[in-house]
Amino acid sequence: MRLLIDGAMVWDGTGAKPFAGKVLIEGERIAAVAPQAENVASDGAERLDAAGKFLMPGMVEGHAHLSFVDTPRGTALGELPPEDHALLTMDAARKLFGAGFTSACSAAAAKIRLDVAVRDAIDRGVIDGPRLLAASPELTVTGGLGDGRKLHLHQDSFGVAVDGPDEVRRMARLCLREGVDMIKLNISGELGTDSAPAIAAVMTDAEVAAGVEAAHTAGRRAAAHARASDSVKRALRHGVDVIYHCDYADEEALDGLEAAKDRVFTGPAIGLTVSRLESLRGDNTAEGRRWLERMTPQFEATCKVHHEMRRRGIRVVVGGDYGFAANPQGTNARDLEHFVTHFGFSPSEALQAATRTGGEIMRRGHELGLVRQGYLADLLLIDGDPLKDIRVLQDKKRFAFIMKDGVRYVPCQGAPHVRRLH
């Protein structure tokens, strides 16, 4: 298959200004990129007139939870039988793809094999979806975020409670055996998990070290849920590769992130916070007001820290814990708007976080995330200019096509999915 995309404004993902140009696709890769005035040898290629449209790399969701299936509470995930849960996870992958995300780095699965099974089905072409890096469930200490049990009943959610380095190691190795690409460690607690608050680093040094060692020994990566400043430092100390949230990172933690910026990735996962705050503002119950009071300072801390991370050039990926009732799967492109509105990113910087940095967190920065000769042909052709208004990416009707590995897909009428063209 050869396709010449002719006359689009090409934004290549590097942050350079877009230019009117030609992009030639051969098979799954980009064969040539040239300004409009230059000739591109395209004999026999199908020509697509893209004049007036915007061409950019496919987006990368850097904090995906495809098995979080829009339930109001995380503990509801434990009630889903694995068969049903796998189908719903597949559906979430298709929704994410239909929202313009051609790749996704998972930040935890609700059951050990959910990401793995969906990743493999996509790779084999059984279903259409984004290329996926699979994660483990959230390894958490007893009482930590994701320990959904009660004393009188066993209730799974999206976490597995493990205490002490031996238990962490054993569970990490089990998840690695089952095929995950990343081990998730909940080093800090979370707002609302009263036995493990967001400002506390509840997973010990020895536990973090055991999880990271297991992942790295298998050639895989470790990611951390790390809101507390001490949890960020603990993650850095033990070589965690992806350090999510970082809301309360102090000066020392920020210095550590900056010193490690060629090695680590961060991601705020701000989408869920913003959506919850939006719904709480219309909630006049005492409970609603109490939550608004608790969440607002954390949101303000996140905004402050991410202005600073941007200034220091620390790599930040988009992706916002989508998959709850307040922020359902498929609305993920809202995250880019949040980066612009709340973190001081320019639209170009938010787009770079979603494309170039996204390619890097997928471990494929050499072939993914840019419109460049030799790169994988993951592209979005858009009716509109996201550099002028980042919100155009939230309107699926504006996607003239979503391309992954050189194959074109178009949004389905009235459904959040896509249809393969050929």
Residues at the contact surface with Zn ion, assessed by CB under 5 A: 107, 321
Spatial separation of the C-alpha atoms in residues 23 and 34, rounded to whole Å: 7
**CB-nearer residue toward Zn ion: 53 or 184:** 184
Enumerate residues 6+ apart whose C-beta is below 8 A from 258: 312, 313, 314
**CB-nearer residue toward Zn ion: 191 or 418:** 191
**CB-nearer residue toward Zn ion: 308 or 321:** 321
- Closest distance between Zn ion and the C-beta of residue 87, in Å? 22
Amino acid at 279: S
Q: Which of 137, 141, 98, 84 is nearest to 115 (CA)?
A: 137
**CB-nearer residue toward Zn ion: 11 or 158:** 158
Spatial separation of the C-alpha atoms in residues 345 and 350, rounded to whole Å: 6
- Closest distance between Zn ion and the C-beta of residue 269, in Å? 5
Three-class HEC string of 112-147: CCHHHHHHHHHHCCCCCCCEEECEEEEEECCCCCCC
- Closest distance between Zn ion and the C-beta of residue 108, in Å? 6
**CB-nearer residue toward Zn ion: 30 or 264:** 264
- Closest distance between Zn ion and the C-beta of residue 158, in Å? 9
- Closest distance between Zn ion and the C-beta of residue 264, in Å? 17
- Closest distance between Zn ion and the C-beta of residue 138, in Å? 8
Spatial separation of the C-alpha atoms in residues 69 and 77, rounded to whole Å: 8
**CB-nearer residue toward Zn ion: 201 or 224:** 224
**CB-nearer residue toward Zn ion: 58 or 271:** 271
Q: H-helix or E-strand containing 7? A: strand 2-10
Q: How buried is residue 49: exposed, middle or buried, by Cβ count under 10 Å (0-12/13-18/19+)?
A: exposed
Q: Which of 362, 338, 361, 332 is nearest to 350 (CA)?
A: 338
Q: Is 204 helix (H, G, I), strand (E, B) or coil?
A: coil
**CB-nearer residue toward Zn ion: 54 or 244:** 244
Spatial separation of the C-alpha atoms in residues 77 and 64, rounded to whole Å: 15
- Closest distance between Zn ion and the C-beta of residue 66, in Å? 11
- Closest distance between Zn ion and the C-beta of residue 19, in Å? 37
Q: How buried is residue 193: exposed, middle or buried, by Cβ count under 10 Å (0-12/13-18/19+)?
A: buried
Spatial separation of the C-alpha atoms in residues 292 and 395, rounded to whole Å: 29
- Closest distance between Zn ion and the C-beta of residue 41, in Å? 46
Continuous H helices in 318-403: 334-343, 347-354, 356-361
**CB-nearer residue toward Zn ion: 107 or 175:** 107
Phi (first) and psi of residue 400, to 5 degrees: -65, -40
Chain position whose Cβ is nearest to Zn ion: 321
Residue where the block lists tokens 């194959």: 407
- Closest distance between Zn ion and the C-beta of residue 132, in Å? 15
**CB-nearer residue toward Zn ion: 3 or 232:** 232
Q: Which of 97, 76, 13, 77 is nearest to 403 (CA)?
A: 97
